[in-house]
Structure 1
Amino acid sequence: MPRTNYNNTAGLKYHTTHETLLYASLTMGSSSIFLYINSVLLFTLRSKSVFRETSRYILLYNLLFADTVYLISSSLIYMLAAFRIKLTFYMCSVVILPPQLVYSISPLTLTVMSLERFVAICYPLRHAVIITIRNTGVAITLVWLTSSLSIIIRVLMLLCSNTEFSFNLQMKDICSKETVFFVPMSHHFVTAYSGIVLLSAGVTIICSYIGVTLVARSASTNKASARKASQTLLLHLFQLGLILISTFQSNIITAAATIMERSHVLRLYSLSFIFLTILPRCLSTFIYGLRDQTIRPFLIQHLCCQWRCSAFLNKANVGE
């Protein structure tokens, strides 16, 4: 009997390890693909002066940069959790802070980008006056200051708490934001802060969409441009909805861990990571990279090998 139990336990451990490697490979594979696409788009936005001198593309660069940092940091946290690797408190804090810093950059930048589209469609004559490079820089600075302020407040809450801890203490659990910012007041602050940011962003995008839609129905405007702007705002709203759902990801995983086996929790964690962490941070590439006629040719050229694209274009020209 003991021999049978040992074999069953060994088989279970092998099965769990095999599944861990499988899901980690699939998840990291998809994450690497999107990271590559995001990186190419970031390079594309810095390669031409038209992108560097246009407010819309400057905001897009800021959004993609924050999303790329979030993807890299989140992928590292996923690997640590999947393989149950434990860190010291100090090392975990270094890993956790970057994604927590840039988490709210996306909804805040989406808000500014929605306002830019609203002004471009509803007030086209004043767009060049309102949406300037200087004003765009001020907006981006405010976005980063707002996100940084939330991290500073949470760190101060941790330092001012009466709980004693050591930065070099080996953590008993896997690295996560809950294990670093374990002060209850910090959790309440994050809930309130995230709610305010996401609610404000949602209301702004919806109001911008309504304004653009009303203008699109007018006979005295460029309906094609207004229709495309309204579709972009809807995609922003969908992207914001996924980010909102992702805020409950840790709660869902924690609740599932109490009633499900580890192998099932790993499947749920992997799926939620793909659809709630990777997907929302990669939609901007498709919303702008593939739909924008100015970016798309350069993005496709940089995504594939440039000589292959050139060869393909030359053949097409010869055929004509």
Structure 2
Amino acid sequence: MQNATEFSFNATSQKTSVIIKVCVVIPLFFVFLCCIAIMLHTFTSHRSFLDSSRYILFAHMLINDTLQILSSVLLFLCAMAQLRFALLLCVPLLFLSTGTFQNTNLILAVMSLERYVAIFYPLQRPTFWRSDRIWIIILSLWVISFTFPITEFFLGKQNPAADVLLSHVLCKAVVVNSLPVQGLFRAAVSVLFFAVVAVVILFTYVRILMETRKLRQDRASVRKALHTVLLHGLQLLLCMLAFTHPFTETLIVMHTKWLQEDIAFFNYFCFILFPRFLSPLIYGFRDQSLRKHIQNRFARHPQKVRC
């Protein structure tokens, strides 16, 4: 009788925990979508944004991070509900989540390089950095970002006899890509992405800083570019918080008696989800032109503004 009571209590406690986690994530998700929708609508409503490589790249980052958070939240809800579904549906969702996660870092590097090009080649930009050709760079980023998760999946040497339509699994990367070689490949790719992006941001920051000291005129625009590159470095650090989860899990296990699923949620919310919410919003609402247009939109149509 006591065992039945304890089981009933544990089941109720687990359901309550799941409800609380969902109620924390979903409202933030919709607030994020609301802010992104406002910014993207502002971009498409003003031709000046569409003629600027800088704003095109930023709009691309907003779309990419929206897809990343959308796929991440879907995977989170499936994990909370312990849903099992076919690999045919699970693998593309994992590809989207991983590819867009890595794509954010590449976009930050390209946005820093765009500021570098704008400072050092203000009158005659290279062809690929013009607003009508920037889509070539954007397409290249998508190809690079999705090459690595696809490669990681096929490193697993999936059984050709397995029917992807009938094989139902928990849709988690650690379940689908569970081999040691896949984990090693994933870690190597993460280090490579971080190193490349960090070097690019550091290079552009130092070069623009040196240019600031040389120029006697138009220092304001150069300093603004310098602050933008520094902000990209902050965004990179926020994105890289996702890779601290092995250390945070160890610390939490040592100092608390949390359940494994609670530790996983804490890491997911604090080091993956929240930085993704924060990063584009900081950059977007910091921009004076974008913020001015958004304020004007709210001032002119306060009763019509909806998320």
TM above 0.5, one fold? yes
Where do 1:70-109 residues align within 5 Å? 70-109=68-107
Cross-structure match for 1:308: 302
Alignment partners' CA distance in 2, 1:221 and 1:207? 23
Alignment partners' CA distance in 2, 1:22 and 1:161? 37
- 161-170 vs 184-193, which deviates more? 161-170
Residue pair 1:35, 1:71 contacting (<8 A) in 2 also: no
CA apart distance, 1:305: 8.6
Q: Deviation per CA, 1:173-221, whole angstroms, max 9, x where unpaired? A: x321121223433322222222212210011001111122222334514
Where do 1:71-220 residues align within 5 Å? 71-127=69-125, 131-158=129-156, 160-161=157-158, 165-167=162-164, 168-171=166-169, 174-220=170-216
CA apart distance, 1:161: 4.8
* Higher-RCO chain (CA-CA 8 Å, sequence separation at least 6): 1
Structure 1 residues 256, 266: CA separation in 2 closer, same or farther (over 3 Å shift)?
farther
CA apart distance, 1:125: 3.7
Counterpart selection for 1:59 from 57, 60, 70: 57
CA apart distance, 1:298: 2.6
Alignment partners' CA distance in 1, 2:98 and 2:255? 28
Alignment partners' CA distance in 2, 1:86 and 1:156? 21
Tell me the SS of whatever aligns to 1:87: strand
Alignment partners' CA distance in 1, 2:302 and 2:258? 44
Where do 1:288-303 residues align within 5 Å? 288-300=283-295
CA apart distance, 1:112: 0.7
Q: Deviation per CA, 1:21-55, whole angstroms, max 9, x where unpaired? A: 11210122112211221222122222221111211
Identity among equivalent positions (%) equals: 24
Cross-structure match for 1:315: none
Tell me the SS of whatever aligns to 1:111: helix
Cross-structure match for 2:29: 31
Count of matched residue pairs: 304
1:243 aligns with 2:251: no
Q: What is the alpha-carbon root mean square deviation over aligned residues?
A: 3.0
Equivalent position amino acid for 1:275 in 2:
C
CA apart distance, 1:132: 0.9
Cross-structure match for 2:41: 43
- 181-190 vs 56-65, which deviates more? 181-190
Residue pair 2:95, 2:150 contacting (<8 A) in 1 also: no
Residue pair 1:35, 1:68 contacting (<8 A) in 2 also: yes
Cross-structure match for 1:265: 260
Cross-structure match for 1:10: 8
Alignment partners' CA distance in 2, 1:148 and 1:127? 29
Residue pair 1:105, 1:143 contacting (<8 A) in 2 also: yes
Residue pair 2:65, 2:104 contacting (<8 A) in 1 also: yes
TM-score by length of 2: 0.86
Alignment partners' CA distance in 2, 1:240 and 1:132? 25
Alignment partners' CA distance in 1, 2:251 and 2:176? 21
Residue pair 1:111, 1:205 contacting (<8 A) in 2 also: yes
Alignment partners' CA distance in 2, 1:126 and 1:223? 20
Tell me the SS of whatever aligns to 2:241: helix
Equivalent position amino acid for 1:111 in 2:
A
Residue pair 1:86, 1:175 contacting (<8 A) in 2 also: yes
CA apart distance, 1:263: 5.6
CA apart distance, 1:20: 1.6
Cross-structure match for 1:318: none
Tell me the SS of whatever aligns to 1:84: coil
TM-score by length of 1: 0.82
1:223 aligns with 2:246: no
